[in-house]
Structure 1
């Protein structure tokens, strides 16, 4: 099955199981959800625990993003097709929120053999991503490929395609509780325009005072 078809199936499934949050008009929760057998409450899909190594040789875990929302994507430094387009849009996001400590970015390489820590460091520097806000990570291949499923960004090694990997160009918005709240095609500027508004919307949700009981 071609990966583009696979992506279509995955995304369609996720859209079908997306649930509205309790507040009208708030961003949805995407993913495959469960139901608490005792209360009947929805248990929203979460990004699993992870541990990777970033461009500064530091261990990056979920704890790095405590009390932050973050934007994730998958790429590889030698990608000749969609990655430069996606990274241009990720750079837009980075530059807009560069002085906002509530927001972080996380880019996972899918070419763990060639994208060494040193290469990731050089790549980040070339983009102008010179702050701790944007982490470029590598790690165990199976762990990165497995977690891509949580982000609806399945990746495959594909020797027959340019660069040797076939993958999506999603940019993905994760809230403070590891929930997937929005995604966009990172190769299309107009889609990311909408995505930027969704980031602002999520930040506004956190700025709202708690409802009086």
Structure 2
């Protein structure tokens, strides 16, 4: 299954001009007008990742607190996927190897088949990939919650389709999220080029936050 493009409503927005080399901000935005000391002030409210509560591969409850003040990468998969997921995980391991041990970067992989992918199944999956520690979390949650946050906020295509191989259609995107919970990059998780661009952009975000 090929890498799926962003939904049509996922509008890419640039936070600043190109001269400062900042990454774009993705997603729809609202422009609101407020009165400050009698003056009209226009504010831009960007799409952000909302609070969440899932269970990781160790059976522990994980909320948005785990990525507080961190840059992180999110993706969506299922352990029995016969198509792009194994390729995506091989590419994500390259990212993991680069960020391993860095306290300010994490990876959150969400299963879209929570009935099958129990914490025990996810734990074996992570172990088979050679993943240790807590920097890369494999998350299980109610299907409607996973699909809602994936489609509305991570801007990823997710749906059940009995005619598709494995029974699901999903984006092969790796999603880069900044410390302010804004989506700052979308990458083809099925290619080395996508993984390497993600690694480079993680470093760009680090520089942005260091200023």
Q: TM-score scaled by structure 2?
A: 0.91
Cα drift, residue 161 of structure 1: 1.1
Corresponding residue number in structure 2 for 1:211: none
Q: RMSD of the alignment, in Å?
A: 1.8
Alignment check: 8 A CA contact 2:158 2:171 kept = yes
Structure 1 residue 4 displacement after superposition:
7.9
Q: Whole-Å Cα distance in 1 between the matches of residues 42 and 126 of structure 2?
A: 45
Consecutive unaligned residues in structure 2, runs of 5 or more: 35-40
Aligned equivalent of 1:153, options 148, 151, 156: 156
Mapped to 1, the partners of 2:32 and 2:122 lie a distance apart of 41
More helix per residue: 1 or 2? Answer: 1
CA–CA distance in 1 between the matches of 2:6 and 2:78? 24
Give the C-alpha shift of residue 188 in structure 1: 1.1
2:197 pairs with 1:180: no
Write out per-residue CA displacement over residues 67-104 of structure 1, whole angstroms, 9 at most, x where no aligned residue: 11100000000000000111111111111110111100
| Structure in which a larger fraction of residues adopt strand | 2
Q: How does 1:20-99 map to 2 (within 5 A)?
A: 20-21=15-16, 24-38=20-34, 39-99=41-101
Map of 1:204 onto structure 2: 207
User: Which stretches of structure 1, 4 residues or longer, exceed 3 Å deviation after superposition?
Assistant: none
Q: Give the deviation of 1:160 after TM superposition.
A: 0.7
Tell me how far apart the structure 2 counterparts of residues 87 and 9 of structure 1 sit (CA, whole Å): 20
CA distance in 2, matches of 1:70, 1:120: 19
Q: Residues 21 and 29 of structure 1 are in contact (CA less than 8 Å); yes or no, is this contact kept in structure 2?
A: no
Q: Is the 8 A contact 1:117 1:138 kept in 2?
A: yes
Deviations 1:103-139 (A, max 9, x none): 0000000001100110000000111111100100001
Equivalent residue pairs, number: 203
Residue 166 of structure 1 pairs with residue 162 of structure 2:
no
Q: Secondary structure at the residue paired with 1:40? A: strand
Q: Structure 1 CA distance, aligned partners of 2:183 and 2:158? A: 18
Cα shift at 1:21: 3.4
Deviation readout 1:160-204 (Å, 9 max, x if unpaired): 111110111000100111100011010011122112111110011
Structure 2 contact 78–111 (Cα < 8 Å) conserved? yes
For structure 1, the residue ranges without an aligned partner over 5 or more in a row are 209-213
Contact between 2:23 and 2:205, CA under 8 Å: does it hold in 1?
yes
Q: Matches of 1:50 and 1:130 in 2, distance apart?
A: 23
Is structure 2 residue 13 aligned with structure 1 residue 18?
Answer: yes
User: For 1:194, what is the secondary structure of its paired residue?
Assistant: helix
